[in-house]
Amino acid sequence: MPLPALSFLSRRFTAAADVTQWLLACLHGLVFLSFLAVLAFAPAARAQEPICRGTDILAQMRDTDPATYRRIVAEGNAVQNGKGLFWKIEKPGLKASYLLGTMHVTDPRVLALPKGAMEAKAGARVIVIESDEILDEQKAIARLMTKPQLTMLMDGKTIQSFLSPADTARLDAALKARGIPLGAVSRMQPWMLSSFIALPACELARKAKGASFLDKQLAEDAIRAGKPVKGLETMEEQLSAMASIPTEFHLKSLMEMLALGDRMDDVMVTMTDLYLSGDIGRTMPMLKAVSPDGADGEGYAEFEERIVTQRNHTMAERARPLLDEGGVFMAVGALHLVGEEGLVSLLRADGFTVTAVN
């Protein structure tokens, strides 16, 4: 994508991309339900896996706009605990525990654990993930069906009830490109539809063929090894957090993602490259840099507070008694680790010594 195109994204890129970043990095439940829909409605994806596309925005910016690139690097370096995916958690008298930041995708490069993580996982007494409900999809979906308001529009409404004919046509085309008919998902909440648009067709196709995302792979490996798996949240809690955000905000984000079109592939490529390099702190500065005014987008602060910060505190509180026994291998979305109220900082405040392994 040429640099002038980056300016075109303006505020709409930042708001949509910020939300997309959290959706992809933080929500087991959203990704899980999205994949269930893909399995049901995308038989074409099973037949032929689309090629993953996209351009690393930062790699291009390094050559075309070095000043902005240097600023992003500096801002990323200033993010507390923004460098590193794999952390060691220690307290005197306890067997060491470990914390791995994950990305909830099936990309084979993401599935390859960082150095030392395989050994730490093998030596752990318990594996901890965001939600252990991913191990029994049928049971989880049955439980969620008892509260359809968390994932579905109510009172007979469909997504078309909120969209103009032109926007409906754009949504229909974007879903068709991913093998999903609009009629099959028209009653889903707009943020569910946003997840379909945010995830590249190649990612959806891999899951349709049965691929596990990293967190689920870790849980499945643990079960095969005879280790207990514990969850820090329920999917109902995750989806309730999303449902608590005003529908207007989710509709706006959906429209912004549709406006971006194939440029969302560039977002995914850049996010993935930052994840693989462990430069998690650079993610948000990068997204904001493509907007001339650096705006976060209306409603984003509330979104971040409910979907990220509050959940960070919940995870830390529920992980504490497990960590107090030592020998834990914990894996959660990478963006839950960073910042003053990220898990690394919260665990340090609880008296643990937390250091980056790599």
| CA dihedral for 36, 39, 41, 45, sign (positive or negative) | positive
Pair of tokens at residue 241: 């957090």
Q: What are the tens digits of pLDDT across the range 308-348?
A: 899 999 999 999 999 999 999 999 999 899 999 999 999 99
Domain residue limits, the chain: 3-356
pLDDT at 344: 98
- Higher pLDDT residue, 226 or 192? 226
Q: What is the mean pLDDT of residues 3-8?
A: 31
Q: What are the tens digits of pLDDT across the range 156-191?
A: 999 999 999 999 999 999 988 877 889 988 999 998
pLDDT at 29: 52
Q: What are the tens digits of pLDDT across the range 13-34?
A: 344 444 555 555 444 555 555 5
Q: Which strand ranges, in their side-by-side order, compose the sheet holding 126-129?
A: 229-231, 126-129, 328-333, 97-102, 86-90, 353-356
Pair of tokens at residue 33: 């339900």
The predicted model scores a pTM of 0.86
pLDDT at 213: 86
pLDDT higher than 70, residue 43: no
Pair of tokens at residue 314: 């919940």
Beta strands in 31-155 (DSSP E): 86-90, 97-102, 126-129
pLDDT at 221: 95
Q: What is the mean pLDDT of residues 240-261?
A: 83
Least confident range of 121-125, 234-238, 349-353: 234-238
Rounded-to-integer distance, Cα 252 and Cα 247, Å: 9
In the chain, pLDDT over 70 holds for what percent of residues? 83
pLDDT higher than 80, residue 9: no
pLDDT at 170: 93
Q: What are the tens digits of pLDDT across the range 94-147?
A: 999 999 999 888 899 999 999 999 999 999 999 999 999 888 877 877 787 888
pLDDT at 180: 84
